Amino acid sequence: MRGRRSVRVAEGGYLRELLQSGVLRTSPLIAAFERIDRAAFIPASVRDAAALNIPLPIGHAQTISQPWTVAFMLEALQPQPGDAVLDVGSGSGWATALLADLVGPRGHVYAIERIPALRAFGERNVLRAGLRNVTFATGDGSRGWPAAAPFQRIHVAAAAPRAVPEPLKEQLAVGGRLIIPVGEWTQTLVLVTRKDPEQFTERRYPDFQFVPLVSDHESSPA
């Protein structure tokens, strides 16, 4: 897998490896990765491995993503101060916290997670990190969050089996960016930019691996 190729036991932790590999390269993102410590977002049982550039279990058969992959997605997404961001599959809350740090107090992150216990875990971790510009919900994020749309950025951390879900494209602001893995066995990261109300462009980055985006037809948050 694209991200896995760069795995090695990091001397000085994943941050040094992300910087050396060049995947983490823009100043606001570097500062966010320095401020938001991944160790505070994982269960105590795997905390010894927090500094490694590998995915780690967070319970309920789910993982916190590999730091390389999170850096790659956020560099492609380039969240800006003041943005409204939808984060689908908030899990541990680590990527949510990075997004909240990047959009700052004028921005807001809407974080949705389908597993109630993980939603609570992520919310607790984000609050402990001192971030107050996040609203959490439990539900099926493949339907988006219509009441909070449009979003300048949409970050999806689980793989849609066949295509980018239409509700997510509909809820993207004009000029906005959406990143999502698509595919069943291995995935391509698809970066969608909404050029105008009717026109979307796509860039594709192959060879990633994510847990599936499970569409359970629960209602979206009101």
- Residues involved in catalysis: 65
> By CB under 6 A, what part of segment 69-88 binds ligand SAM?
88
In this complex, which beta carbon is closest to ligand SAM, that of residue 105 or of residue 116? 116
63 beta partners: 57
Among 112, 131, 172, 182, binds ligand SAM (CB under 6 A): 112
Q: Return all residues near 74 (Cβ < 8 A) that are at least 6 apart.
A: 29, 32, 95, 98, 99, 102, 155
**Is residue 142 near ligand SAM by the rule CB under 6 A?**
yes
**Is residue 6 near ligand SAM by the rule CB under 6 A?**
no
Among 114, 153, 177, 194, binds ligand SAM (CB under 6 A): 114
**Is residue 1 near ligand SAM by the rule CB under 6 A?**
no
Only segment of 74-82, 145-153, 180-188, 210-218 that touches ligand SAM (CB under 6 A): 210-218
Q: Return all residues near 190 (Cβ < 8 A) that are at least 6 apart.
A: 164, 179, 180, 181, 182, 202, 203, 204
Cα 175 off chain centre by: 19
Q: Tell the smallest beta-carbon distance from residue 110 to ligand SAM (Å).
A: 12
In this complex, which beta carbon is closest to ligand SAM, that of residue 167 or of residue 197? 167
- As a dihedral over the C-alpha atoms of residue 26, residue 31, residue 34, residue 35, rounded to 10 degrees, the angle is -150
Show the tokens assigned to 97. 């916290």
**Is residue 32 near ligand SAM by the rule CB under 6 A?**
no
Show the tokens assigned to 107. 């921005």
Show the tokens assigned to 39. 């160790």
Cα 7 off chain centre by: 19
- Residue numbers of the site for ligand SAM (CB under 6 A)? 58, 62-65, 88-92, 94-95, 112-115, 118, 140-142, 157-158, 210-211, 213-215
